[in-house]
């Protein structure tokens, strides 16, 4: 009886270890998947410890829009101005991303321009996008009270990813093509229960989780 009991306990122990190993492996695999888009896109900055400064700005469509009104959604926030050539070059891909996001109501795309007024911004976008209204929200910050004073942006374009709790998760400096499924993957990953804990600073993955991006851990 004692031997049989030992065999039973050993079996239970092995089963428990097997389940633990399976759960651990599954969680590790999910963690790696949550970091795939972030690692591939290599933002200038990524972390999980800064609340995005709230603001309220006028929209080119009339009325005012407050950032915190998007709470519960992931926000892709793009800063641009008409005198910035890379801003205008990436604008068609911003428009393509906006159209793709119509199938993802949990993600909002908002742009802020430091141009003079709504007419100025609308005329610029019509010339760049081939006419018609932009398929994304456009806010006016003519005095740079938000772009420069709250977010510290001096060079354009800059694009920020803010999660559904209002926390800044990533920042991309400079122009790029935004018409990529990887961009949507990154936005959606910010709402996943298992989130990527890789930090980026100066465009390099750093910290204990940097190895998930194929890089050696570096202190931030």
Overall domain count for the chain:
1
| pLDDT computed for residue 26 by the predictor | 33
173 lies in some domain: yes
Q: For residue 145, what are the CA distances in angstroms to 9, 17, 67, 158, 172? A: 67, 57, 14, 16, 20
54 lies in some domain: yes
Q: What is the mean pLDDT of each run of 10 residues along the chain (220 residues)?
A: 55 47 40 84 94 97 96 97 96 97 96 95 95 94 96 96 97 95 94 85 89 68
What is the domain extent for residue 179?
2-213
| pLDDT computed for residue 195 by the predictor | 79
140 lies in some domain: yes
pTM of the model: 0.84
Q: Are strands 64-66 and 137-140 parallel, antiparallel or unpaired?
A: unpaired
105 lies in some domain: yes
171 lies in some domain: yes
220 lies in some domain: no
| pLDDT computed for residue 131 by the predictor | 87
218 lies in some domain: no
219 lies in some domain: no
3-state secondary structure of 211: helix
| pLDDT computed for residue 209 by the predictor | 83
15: CATH: 3.40.30.10
| pLDDT computed for residue 170 by the predictor | 97
| pLDDT computed for residue 43 by the predictor | 96
């Amino acid at each position: 009886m004692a031997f049989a009991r030992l065999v039973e306990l050993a079996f239970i122990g092995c089963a428990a270890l097997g389940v633990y190993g399976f759960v651990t492996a599954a969680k590790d695999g999910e963690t790696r998947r949550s970091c795939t888009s972030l690692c591939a896109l290599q933002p200038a900055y990524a972390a999980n410890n800064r609340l995005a400064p709230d603001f309220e700005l006028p929209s080119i469509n009339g009325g005012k829009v407050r950032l915190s009104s998007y709470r519960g959604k992931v926000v892709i926030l793009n800063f641009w101005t008409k005198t910035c050539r890379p801003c205008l070059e990436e604008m068609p891909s911003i428009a393509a991303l906006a159209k793709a996001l119509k199938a993802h109501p949990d993600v909002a795309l908002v742009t802020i321009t430091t141009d003079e007024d709504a007419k100025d911004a609308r005329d610029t976008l019509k010339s760049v996008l081939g006419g018609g209204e932009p398929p994304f929200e456009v806010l006016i910050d003519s005095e740079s009270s938000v772009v420069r004073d709250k977010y510290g942006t001096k060079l354009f374009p800059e694009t920020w990813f803010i999660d559904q709790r209002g926390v800044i998760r990533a920042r991309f400096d400079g122009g790029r093509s935004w018409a990529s499924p990887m961009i949507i993957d990154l936005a959606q990953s910010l709402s996943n229960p298992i989130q990527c804990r890789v930090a980026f600073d100066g465009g390099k993955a750093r910290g204990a989780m940097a190895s998930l991006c194929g890089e050696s851990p570096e202190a931030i």
